[in-house]
Amino acid sequence: MFKTVEWKNSSVVMIDQRLLPGAEVYRKYTDYKGVARAIKDMVVRGAPAIGVAAAMGVALGASKIKAKDFKAFKKEFAKVAGLLASTRPTAVNLFWAIERMSRVAAENKGLPIPELKKRLVEEAKEIHRDDIEINRRIGRHGGRLLKSPSTVLTHCNAGALATAGYGTALGVIRGAIEAGKKIKVFADETRPFLQGSRLTAWELKKDKIDVTLITDSMAGYMMKKGLIDAVVVGADRIAANGDVANKIGTYSVALLAREHKIPFYVAAPLSTIDLKIKHGDNIPIEERDSSEVTHIRGKRIAPQGVKVRNPAFDVTPNPLVTAIITERGVVRRPYIKGLKGLFRKG
């Protein structure tokens, strides 16, 4: 099986997701600026995977800091953290991971610098290990919600490629299958970046999970024909009220699901929940380069100079969300209470 992101011999190794499914290429980063560029350019994507990559980027940057005391170290550390935090605005896991690394640095300021650097590398590795374990828990909780047999629609890729491994939305599907349920999957191709056709179809096929690829525009048709029993998606940021920012197009899928009385589940770790943001309208939405819409695999598909909008995410209002599946259990309406409660469980 592939590894999405890995700490290996003092470097960060990531599968280049831009080249999938055509080629399985691993890129090695020995410099935090390279990791930042890789996040920005979507070598790695998916909220939890971005978090892990950012933590490793921080560890990598920290390990190269030439400083004799904590004060000097801290100044350089802030530059590293700042650059990594500037890569992508929507997925909150990025900021969560950088904050966790910063906290560990602050808490261990008494250590000799070489020890502190080791401690930060250990923390990044722990974030990586934790993420896989968290996904398995999401999978167990969420797997119970799916009927057997059933067909699940997913949008974008919230799989092993979007996390340290196993996946959130695809973790729920894997959890159900591991519990002995018969699950088939419909994958939206997810324009413009095609995470569904390039990544979800690829990793599910690798896992021998029954997957059928459709364009985003076909989800409504499939629901109307009674072919979809549930929708499961991941999330890039969940507001305190349960509004969910996720890959562009998720909102349409949620609306279609409600129209067809199909449950719409969101699977995400606690690190995706941002209690500081009250309402989905306040979640910053990244707008990416127009070439993602006008070109596919380097080929132009639209006229020269055409105006383009390219928001990478949308917000699904909480009334459309049947349940949010986390590593600490399943939360339903009212989300304000339920989501807050999760953080007290620990």
Q: E strand or H helix at 93, and its extent?
A: helix 92-107
Provide the minimum distance between the beta carbon of 274 and a second copy in the complex, in angstroms, as a whole number. 20
Query: Is 236 a known active-site residue?
Result: yes
Provide the minimum distance between the beta carbon of 307 and a second copy in the complex, in angstroms, as a whole number. 4
Helix axes 113-143, 169-178, angle to 10 degrees: 60
Q: E strand or H helix at 256, and its extent?
A: helix 250-259
Cβ atoms of 44 and 157 within 8 Å: the answer is: no
Q: What is the rounded distance in angstroms from the CA atom of residue 101 to the CA atom of residue 80?
A: 11
The catalytically annotated residue of 188, 229, 236, 274 is: 236
Provide the minimum distance between the beta carbon of 42 and a second copy in the complex, in angstroms, as a whole number. 15
For position 209 contacting a second copy by CB under 8 A, the verdict is: no
Which tokens belong to 263?
A: 């449950």
Provide the minimum distance between the beta carbon of 150 and a second copy in the complex, in angstroms, as a whole number. 17
Pick the piece of the chain touching a second copy (CB under 8 A) from 100-108, 162-170, 299-307, 323-331. Answer: 299-307
- Which of 110, 114, 180, 305: binder of a second copy (CB under 8 A)? 305
Q: How far apart are the first and last CA of the chain?
A: 32
CA 346, distance to chain mean position in Å, is 22
Q: What is the rounded distance in angstroms from the CA atom of residue 253 to the CA atom of residue 275?
A: 25
- Which of 132, 209, 293, 336: binder of a second copy (CB under 8 A)? 293
For position 272 contacting a second copy by CB under 8 A, the verdict is: no
Instruction: Specify the residue, 11 or 291, whose C-beta has the smaller distance to a second copy.
Output: 291
The neighbouring-strand residues paired with 244 are 238, 316
In the complex, the residues that contact a second copy under the rule CB under 8 A are 21-22, 186, 188-192, 194, 197-198, 201-202, 205, 210-222, 224, 247-249, 251-252, 255-256, 259, 293-294, 296-297, 299-311, 314-315
